[in-house]
Amino acid sequence: MASEKSKILVVGATGYLGRHVVAASARLGHPTFALVRDAAPSDPAKAALLKSFQDAGVTLLKGDLYDQASLVSAVRAADVVISTLGSLQIADQTRLIDAIKEAGNVKRFFPSEFGLDVDRTGIVEPGKTLLSGKVAVRRAVEAAGIPYTYVVAGFFAGYALPSIGQALAQGPPADKAVVLGDGNAKAVYVEEGDIGTYTVLAADDPRAENKTLYVRPPANTLSHNELLALWEKKSGRAFEREYIPEEAVLKQIQESPVPLNIILAIGHAAHVRGEQTGFEVDPAKGAEAAELYPDVKYTTVDEYLDRFL
């Protein structure tokens, strides 16, 4: 049956999220290809990662986003292309779109997304400019007529949960927690491996074609107040909450340097504006991952927080 599954190429395979997508693809039985610039890197950590890919049956394809011939060759090996490129390379995904058009064999493309829904966010600057690159890539994909899925997944658990949801903190609160807004807007926290799983499950799913896949696991959709209360219960420690009014958050965004202003702008969109959860999904344009794949045993926020005890 594995031969009936799509061949998946991951671009950005060794990055923060890419390695989880590669692992999920291999685990779920897809012939999996990872685009790599160097198949024998001198960096021991990267070499170990590539060896783990190969041990899982992943094929390493040497190529580069900025070498069109190698990119087209890699794309021709796959049915589905999943991009997990980082923010500095978002705009350059037009090169990948060109390669997919030239190859002519790809039945689905997943551009690098995984955060806010860039077509419906009201994020303030500098977040708006940062996300404009993703908007431009979406329009380019659609203009090229390439079947797509956009994956929107809220906060990466590995980024947001170590600080118990605090935007600029480095760890859990000791005596005081800083909360943007009133702390009642619901946000979503998803473990990176689960993002990989839901993304790969959508690769062969016609229900996700030309739609946005919203990864919003029910048990992981909490307000900041609820998240802090859960941590208080687990840690056995109570702490003061400092609520920052929206006007003060916006002022802090304007006065903070990069990247703090970007982090705060995203926090404002999620924790103050409630953009990750405050809307119904239009079935003509989107789908809920939890509804399409109810059997996925995802890591809950409750379970994830146990790592910090």
For the annotated catalytic residues, the residue numbers are 134
- Cα separation, 299 vs 291, in Å, equals 16
Task: Report the length, in residues, of the chain.
Answer: 309
- Cα separation, 78 vs 75, in Å, equals 6
**Burial zone of 274 (CB within 10 Å; 0-12 exposed, 13-18 middle, 19+ buried):** middle
Concatenated DSSP letters of 52-91? HHHHTTPEEEE--TT-HHHHHHHHTT-SEEEE---GGGST
- Cα separation, 181 vs 177, in Å, equals 12
- Cα separation, 1 vs 191, in Å, equals 28
